[in-house]
């Protein structure tokens, strides 16, 4: 089921408008595969937590096109067990719309939901290639960098206190 979770976000000259929506897990798989699994050690697009009742999948649609996705899992950060946490996973934006603000809008919608749900923090295991994006949105790096064993790519944990 797709439900609009925010007002349409229309960019200058953009037709149709972009809308943040809730998704079913399977609807995220195509973008997960094309954006997050190209050139990685794994091709798996399903997360173990995808079907948990407290997991939320959000996306941005422009008309019939799904152009950005994210998955939000209720989970405390292992180094901050005293804080109610939500883990952001699988954030991906179609390269054709990167830099247009749609990823930021999607992230803000997820942060708003996490905050409304009582989370103290949102955290992610961010690819180093995406660190500038997260830092610009108020996240901080936490701990040392590492190579993710499933992708073979360099990562850092990022945290944003709500």
Kindly report, residue by residue over 121-145, the tens digit of the pLDDT.
999 999 999 999 999 999 999 999 9
Residue 8 predicted with pLDDT over 50: no
* Total domains in the fold of the chain: 1
Place 104 in a pLDDT band, splitting at 50, 70 and 90: very high
Residue 88 predicted with pLDDT over 90: yes
- Supply the range of the domain harboring residue 107: 18-161
Nearest one of 91, 77, 84, 82 to 157, comparing CA atoms: 77
Residue 32 near residue 92, CB atoms below 8 Å: yes
99 DSSP 8-state letter:
T
Check which CATH number belongs to the domain holding 39 and give it.
3.40.630.30
pLDDT score, position 34: 87
> Domain for residue 114, yes or no?
yes
Residue 42 predicted with pLDDT over 80: no
For the entire predicted model, the pTM comes to: 0.87
Place 75 in a pLDDT band, splitting at 50, 70 and 90: very high
> Domain for residue 10, yes or no?
no
> Domain for residue 54, yes or no?
yes
> Domain for residue 42, yes or no?
yes
Residue 90 near residue 49, CB atoms below 8 Å: no
> Domain for residue 11, yes or no?
no
> Domain for residue 119, yes or no?
yes
Nearest one of 69, 74, 32, 70 to 53, comparing CA atoms: 74
> Domain for residue 5, yes or no?
no
């Amino acid at each position: 089921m797709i439900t609009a979770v925010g007002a349409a976000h229309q960019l200058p000259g953009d037709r149709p408008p972009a809308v943040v929506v809730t998704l079913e897990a399977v609807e995220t798989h195509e973008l997960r595969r094309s954006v997050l699994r190209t050139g990685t050690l794994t091709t798996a697009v399903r997360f173990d937590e995808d079907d948990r009742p407290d997991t939320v999948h959000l996306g941005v649609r422009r008309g019939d096109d799904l152009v950005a996705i994210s998955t939000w899992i209720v989970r405390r950060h292992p180094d901050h067990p005293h804080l109610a946490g939500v883990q952001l996973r699988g954030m991906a934006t179609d390269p054709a719309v990167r830099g247009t603000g749609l990823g930021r809008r999607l992230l803000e919608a997820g942060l708003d939901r996490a905050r409304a749900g009582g989370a103290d923090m949102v955290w992610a295991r961010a690819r180093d290639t995406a660190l500038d994006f997260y830092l610009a949105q108020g996240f901080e790096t936490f701990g040392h960098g590492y190579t993710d064993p499933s992708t073979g790519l360099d990562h850092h944990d990022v945290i944003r206190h709500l």
